[in-house]
Every structure is written in structure tokens, then in C-alpha cells.
Amino acid sequence: MQRNLEAMHSRMQRLGVALRPHLKTAKSADIARLVTQGQAGGVTVSTLAEAEYFHASGFKDILYAVGILPAKLDRVDALAKSGADIKLVSDSLDTVKAIAERSPDSALPFKILIEVDSGEGRAGVLADDPVFLEMARVINDASNMKLMGVMTHAGHSYGCETVDAIKDVAAQERERITSAAERLRENDLPCPIVSAGSTPTAVHAENLDGVTEMRPGVFVFNDLKQLAVGSCAREDLALSVLASVIGQNKHKGHLILDSGALALSKDISAHDEHPEVGYGEVCHADTLEPFEGLYVGAVSQEHGIVPVDNPDAFDRLPVGTQVRILPNHACITAAGYSHYEVLENGRITAQWDRVNGW
């Protein structure tokens, strides 16, 4: 994990952009302190619960990167009043109009970035849609809002099959978000922040001119999905689930682990590239070397089923054996836990807590 953080810092420095790490992956103040070490400290969150937790843990500059709703502004306002420099995003003209009409009892103007679709097609307006400029003007004209710029998330980088394809998505992400920024400036609208990023595009972008900050998240841990799309190497996988063999079903030909849907999640996102990883790869607990051909093929709530083709596996993994499971998607798997056990040189040296919920 420490290597992953350092590599991302170096890359962002080399490309001349700030790293505003997305803390939705780790949701841990201990990890947030490591990932922001030696830099300004702006962070990204995916829930207001994260914003409140990280602010209470000493983080001030927080971008809440999921579209805001007027109904959620009381919590934002409370954070701002207690000293947080919280930034919001929206892709909705209706939302910013509703905020503009809100009674002005908040201490500070709400700081808004307009979310732009850079090709993912999830959230975000298109910068050439008239709605984009209209939103910008509503925000800029309102006394209770401040236009902070534009943001995007090139989530379609997760669907890439080659590093060249990721580089293309990264170039598209940069082009779309800097065009959006340019459109604001051409219209005499402010755009101090030009925010982009996903782990694959942050790892493979060759040019980030015009982008002011990147928001990768899962790079902290990486996972089988990131390995499959080419964002990391196997030795960069920093999160695993410790499990035990609790049964050997010889009449059906499988091992039973005490890690099921809640311990691993039901995320199978690495299946696009590698269906053979199932719900996770089964590895030696100490070395993280994979047991050749062993993966969690099915899960129920607390059971993980590992199909056994070669009966040798029953000898190699007797009941009681501890194994480590590498998950498909670290963000989703980690969300099942209240804390991390920190493994350093083969020993657990600390527990780091997490914030869950909303």
C-alpha cells in the first residue's frame, strides 16, 4: 500500500497536478493521513458520513463527489460552519435552481463544481449542452453559491482491455474536462478547479495539461479488476481477506471457506476479463502466492465454495488452513468491515478504523 501511495504521488507530481485522493475506497483516517502526506491535503469523499468523519479527523478541504440534493444541504452547512471547506458537485439545472431559491441562512456560499460527462455516460452534463452554461450562470449569479469549476470521472476506463485503450480514455477525459473549463472561461465564468480522474486514467495519463487535480481512489489497495485492466501489477495488490477452510466436501468436490457474500461482497467485476477468478482468488496466507486454479466459485452469506478439480487440494488445504482471498473490487469488499488489520512484514502491527454508512 505504501508503495502504491508513493507511486501515485510521484506520477501526479511529474504530470503537474494535485492529487485529491478519493477516500471512498479505504474510508479510513489512518490511510487518509498516509495518502495525503507531504501535500496540501484536499480529499474526495462519496458520502456525507465520510465528509463528517474525515473532517472530524482533521481534513478540511473535502470534495463530495456524488451529485448533491437540496435536502442534504443542512448537513453540508453544518460542516461548513464547523470549519470544513466542503465542495459539492451537480449535473442538474433543477438542483442548482432549487439551491438558489433556498433561504439564505447558511454561513457561507455553497461551493459547486459542475459534473461533466467525459465519456462514461453515468452522471454529468455534456459541456456543449446549453444546460451546462445555464447551470454555470445560475450558480455564478446566486448569492448563496460559488462556482468552483468542473469535475468528471472517466469510469469507462474500467472497461478497457489494453493499456493503450486506457491512454485513449485518459486523453478523452482530459480533452472533455479542459474543454468544459475553457467554455466557462470564454463566457467570463470562473473555473479555478478542473478535476478529473479514476485510477486507470491517473496511472496511464501521459498529459494532464489544464487539469488541476486528479481523484483516483482504488489505487491505494488495487484489486483483481485493476490488475485485469492493467492499472497495477500483482505485487501492488494490498488488500486481502483472511479466511479459513471450515470443510472439505469430497462428495461434491469443493472446499468450504468461512468467507462468503458478506466477507467478500458479491462484486464480480473482474469477470469481464477473467471469469475464472470467481468471487476471489485463493492464495497462501503468508506469501499471497495463488493456489493454482483455486478460486471462490460460489458464495452464500457466510460460506465460500472453492471448486476442487485436483483432489491434491484436499491434502494441501486441510480443515483449519488459513488462506487469503484477493477480491475483485477492493472498495466494495472493504465496505463489509469496521476496520483493517495492518500487515507489516508478516505481522499484524495495527488496526485502522473505517467509516461506513451514510
List of residues contacting a second copy (CB under 8 A):
24, 46-47, 66-71, 91-92, 94-95, 98, 117, 121-124, 126, 129, 155, 244, 246-249, 251-252, 256, 258, 261-263, 265-268, 300-303, 305, 318-320, 331-332, 335-338, 356-358
Q: Minimum distance from CB of 197 to a second copy (Å)? A: 15
User: Do the Cβ atoms of 170 and 155 come closer than 8 Å?
Assistant: no
Q: Minimum distance from CB of 142 to a second copy (Å)? A: 17
Closest to a second copy by CB, 94 or 309: 94
User: Do the Cβ atoms of 47 and 358 come closer than 8 Å?
Assistant: yes
- Grid cell, residue 309, equals 478439480
Q: Minimum distance from CB of 153 to a second copy (Å)? A: 9
Closest to a second copy by CB, 11 or 27: 27
Closest to a second copy by CB, 104 or 121: 121
Residues 314 and 323: their CA atoms lie apart, in Å, by 14
The one-letter amino acid at 51: A
Residues 262 and 260: their CA atoms lie apart, in Å, by 6
Q: Minimum distance from CB of 339 to a second copy (Å)? A: 9
Closest to a second copy by CB, 232 or 299: 299
Report strand pairing: 241-249 vs 254-257. antiparallel
Closest to a second copy by CB, 149 or 327: 327
Q: Minimum distance from CB of 322 to a second copy (Å)? A: 9
Q: Minimum distance from CB of 184 to a second copy (Å)? A: 19
Closest to a second copy by CB, 104 or 320: 320
Closest to a second copy by CB, 16 or 247: 247
Closest to a second copy by CB, 90 or 212: 90
Q: Minimum distance from CB of 251 to a second copy (Å)? A: 6
Residues 205 and 210: their CA atoms lie apart, in Å, by 13
Closest to a second copy by CB, 151 or 331: 331
Q: Minimum distance from CB of 58 to a second copy (Å)? A: 23
Q: Minimum distance from CB of 167 to a second copy (Å)? A: 22
